[in-house]
Amino acid sequence: MILLVAVRDKRLIFLLIILLLSAATAWAQVIKLASPFPAGSQWDIALHKLADEWREITAGQVKIRVYSGGTAGEEDDIIRKIKIGQIDAGILSSFGLKTIVSESIVLALPGFVRSVYEMDYLLENFVERFDERFREAGFEILTWTKSGWVYIFGESPLRIPDDLRKQYLAVGSTENEIIAAFKVLGFNVVPMKINETMIALHSGMANSFYGPPIIAAAFQWFAAAPFMTNYPLAPVFGALVIGQQTWNRIPKKYHSALKEALDMMVRSFDNETRRLNSEALAIMKRHGLKIVNLNEDEITQWNEVMLASHATMLGDGKAVPEALYLELSSIIKSIR
C-alpha cells in the first residue's frame, strides 16, 4: 500500500512538472518578420543576429523568423498580412508607414529636411508623437530607421527644375501624394512598379528617376540615367513595426531590453548604409556616373520648387494636417 502511494506520488509530481513547464512556455511567440533586404546581405545578417539576441533575452520564449528579400510581398501586402495575423512584423519605408498613419509622411517631404543633423534631431525628438496613432491603427513602432538620402538621376544633367520638366520621371506607383505634387509642378511623371523601371528607362518611357545611390547601383538604373544631381531630395526614413496584439503577448518585462537590442541593430544599419551608399557611388562613377554639383542659385531653385510641392499634401482631407506641418517647419528652422 505504501509502495502504491509512492508510485502515485511520483506520477503526480511528474505530471505537475510537465504542467509547470507547459505553463512557463505557453506564451512563447514566433515572430514572422517581413524584410526587404536580400538574403545574405549585411542587413539580413544583422536581422538574424537580432533574432539570436531576442531569443537570449527572453530565454528562448521569443523567436524571430525572417522572411528576406521581399518574399512576404510589397509593403501594402505586409501591412494587410500584419492586420490579419499572417505576418507579425515588417520593415516599412516612409511610404508604407504613410498608409497606416498618413501624417508620418511629413518627415520625407521633398526638400524639407536637408541635413543629417536635422534628420537625427527629428528621430530623437519628434517621431515619438506618431506612436499613439500607430497603436490606434493596431501597430507598435519598435524603432525608426534612416537609410541615407534620395537623389535625382537623369539621362542628361539636371541642374535646375526646368531641366527635369523636359524629362519623364519614373515614380513608384504607390507614391500617390508625390505623383500628384510633381504633376502640379509640371513634371512629367510616369508611375510604375520597381520591377518595371529598368524596362521603362531602356525603352524611353522614362529617362529619369529618383532613389538612394545603393538602389541606383543595385538595379543598374544609372546606366540609362548617368547624371546624378547632387541635391539631397529627401531623407530615407522607415521603421520596424509589429502588430499590437503580438507585441502585447510578449511580457512587458522584456520590452525595454528587446527595444534596446533593436536600437543597437539600427545603429549598425546606419553605419552599413553609409558605407554601402559610398561604395555604390564609387562603383557607379567608375562605370560612367557623373555627379552634377550645383551652385547656390541652382540649389535655391530646387528648394523653392520642392517646398512649393508640399501645398498639395496639406490641410483637411489631405495627408498632412497644416498645423503639424507648420510645427515641424518651425522646429527645422530653429535648428538649421
Query: What does the pLDDT look like over 224-240, one tens digit per residue?
Result: 999 999 999 999 989 99
Domains of the chain listed by start with CATH number: 27-335 (3.40.190.170)
Distance CA 176, CA 307 (A): 17
Whole-number pLDDT of residue 175: 81
Say which residue the cell 529618383 belongs to: 210
- Which of 2-6, 128-132, 180-184, 286-290 has the lowest average pLDDT? 2-6
Whole-number pLDDT of residue 9: 57
Given phi > 0 = left and psi -120 to 50 = alpha, else beta, which region is 204? left
Reply yes or no on whether the pLDDT at 20 is more than 50.
Answer: no
**Which parts of 92-226 fold into alpha helices (H)?**
94-98, 116-125, 131-136, 161-165, 176-184, 197-203, 213-218
**Helix, strand, coil share of the chain (percent; to 5):** 55, 20, 25
Distance CA 131, CA 223 (A): 40
Distance CA 61, CA 24 (A): 9
16 or 223: which leads in pLDDT = 223
Say which residue the cell 521603421 belongs to: 239
Tell me which residue of 198, 236, 243 sits closest to 219, measured CA to CA: 198
- Which of 15-24, 55-64, 313-322 has the lowest average pLDDT? 15-24
Would you say 27 and 254 are in contact if contact means Cβ atoms under 8 Å apart? no
pLDDT class for 121, splitting at 50, 70, 90?
very high
Which residues, including other chains, have CB under 8 Å from residue 21's CB and lie 6 or more apart? Answer: none
Whole-number pLDDT of residue 290: 97
Which H helix or E strand runs over 271?
A: helix 252-286
Say which residue the cell 524571430 belongs to: 64
161 or 145: which leads in pLDDT = 161
Reply yes or no on whether the pLDDT at 19 is more than 70.
Answer: no
Q: What is the pTM of this model?
A: 0.81
Distance CA 2, CA 324 (A): 78
Reply yes or no on whether the pLDDT at 6 is more than 90.
Answer: no
The phi, psi pair for 39, rounded to 5°, reads -60, 135
Whole-number pLDDT of residue 27: 56
The residue type found at 158 is: L
What is the overall mean pLDDT for the chain? Answer: 89
Reply yes or no on whether the pLDDT at 259 is more than 90.
Answer: yes
